Amino acid sequence: MNSDPQSQQCVAITENFRLEHKCSSLPSLSSYHYHDGCEVYLFLDGSGMLYSESGAFRLKRGDLFIFRPDELHCAQPISDTISPYERFTLHIKESFIRSLSSAQTDLARCFFDRPLGTQNYLHLEERELREILILLFRIDRCTPDGVYGNDLRLILAFTEFLIRLNRKFMTAGENPDDLMPRLIKETMRYIDSHLTEELHLQNLSACLRRNGAYISRRFKEETGITLRQYLICKRVILAKKLLRENYSLTDACTQSGFHDYSNFNRTFTRQVGCSPSHYQKTCRSKDCGFHFSVNI
């Protein structure tokens, strides 16, 4: 059991979402991970860094990040302040977001209407932050508990929260605070565009015109994972997508860059925590949402 003193002022869980308000005096380090559902991360206090697939950000109060399914990210607290590390995390099933949308208003827009791994960052001014916090606490209070009207109040609060989130997304400009080195971004882009091929370090080196050993070392220093770990993770993410789209197990294997099924089955099971066949069955039963969270 983790000995860090950590309190969760509110934890609201339904079949469609999980809302947590965490405040940690000695937070533990996390690693790159991804989810099957959408996530909203809101930073309130303390000190830390957040890494996405194409950016690195020094956290400040009011920073908000949005992630769609299978989007890699990592939040790292920094113990250089006496303030506790405080944040909200909200995991939401994509199907729930779409059920609240209309023909005119797509509430999933901020999660999906952008290139993967980009435009994740928003910053809320203090007035905007207060308004968002009011809605988050209202969502917590209205989590269905049998009280008359709370189910409808929850839908109203959640819908208003998503409307505000999307409006902020649509008016956000370029983020000037991205600290991720260009070399790391270019390395990720190269791997992403060659996922299904046989990848060799010398090809990456030739493309980026940098020494292969240097690229490997800098990538590990900046992300905390190796080039191979990143490659395997992205291939598993692609395989999951294919399985959700009802591709056969063998097609999901070959079309995601794995050419040996036993290796694919073993690697997938180790990363996801269940076999490809079990994962596909779970998704077909519509029980797939924010339940799968995978650390690299």
Tens-digit pLDDT profile for residues 203-217? 999 999 999 999 999
Assess whether 244 and 267 both reside in one domain: yes
| Enclosing domain of residue 131 | 6-171
Assess whether 210 and 122 both reside in one domain: no
pLDDT in tens, 12-38: 888 899 999 998 876 566 788 999 899
- Cα separation, 150 vs 64, in Å, equals 27
Q: Look at residue 294 and tell me if it is in a domain.
A: no
Assess whether 89 and 191 both reside in one domain: no
Q: Show Cβ contacts of residue 245 under 8 Å, excluding neighbours closer than 6 positions.
A: none
Assess whether 106 and 140 both reside in one domain: yes
Assess whether 127 and 76 both reside in one domain: yes
The pLDDT score that the predictor gives to residue 24 is 80
Asked if residue 4 has pLDDT above 50, the reply is: no
Q: Which residue has the higher pLDDT, 70 or 111?
A: 111
Assess whether 214 and 80 both reside in one domain: no
User: The domain spanning residue 187 has which CATH number?
Assistant: 1.10.10.60
Contact assessment for residue 205 and residue 212, using Cβ atoms and an 8 Å cutoff: yes
The pLDDT score that the predictor gives to residue 133 is 97
Q: What is the mean pLDDT of residues 223-228?
A: 91
Assess whether 211 and 254 both reside in one domain: yes
Q: 147, 171, 195: which is the final residue of a domain?
A: 171
Number of domains in the chain: 2
User: The domain spanning residue 71 has which CATH number?
Assistant: 2.60.120.280
Q: What is the mean pLDDT of residues 254-279?
A: 94
The pLDDT score that the predictor gives to residue 3 is 42
Tokens standing for residue 160: 């208003």
- Cα separation, 236 vs 21, in Å, equals 30
The pLDDT score that the predictor gives to residue 6 is 52
Q: Show Cβ contacts of residue 237 under 8 Å, excluding neighbours closer than 6 positions.
A: 34, 70, 72
Segment (H or E) for 22? strand 17-24
Q: Look at residue 177 and tell me if it is in a domain.
A: no
The pLDDT score that the predictor gives to residue 257 is 95
Assess whether 89 and 197 both reside in one domain: no
pLDDT in tens, 226-261: 999 999 999 999 999 999 999 999 999 999 999 899
Residue 89, phi-psi category: left (phi > 0), alpha (psi -120 to 50), beta (remainder): beta
The pLDDT score that the predictor gives to residue 292 is 57
Contact assessment for residue 114 and residue 179, using Cβ atoms and an 8 Å cutoff: no
Q: 150, 171, 192: which is the final residue of a domain?
A: 171
Assess whether 92 and 214 both reside in one domain: no
What is the total residue count of the chain?
296
Assess whether 16 and 161 both reside in one domain: yes
- Cα separation, 25 vs 196, in Å, equals 43
- The model's confidence at residue 177, banded by pLDDT at 50, 70 and 90, is confident
Q: Show Cβ contacts of residue 65 under 8 Å, excluding neighbours closer than 6 positions.
A: 39, 40, 41, 50, 52, 57, 73, 120, 121, 122
Nearest CA to 48 out of 84, 83, 76 is that of 76
The pLDDT score that the predictor gives to residue 242 is 96
Assess whether 140 and 271 both reside in one domain: no
Q: Which residue has the higher pLDDT, 271 or 290?
A: 271
The pLDDT score that the predictor gives to residue 8 is 57
Q: Which residue has the higher pLDDT, 290 or 116?
A: 116
**What integer best gives the mean pLDDT of the chain?**
89
Asked if residue 47 has pLDDT above 60, the reply is: yes
Assess whether 112 and 238 both reside in one domain: no
Q: Look at residue 198 and tell me if it is in a domain.
A: yes
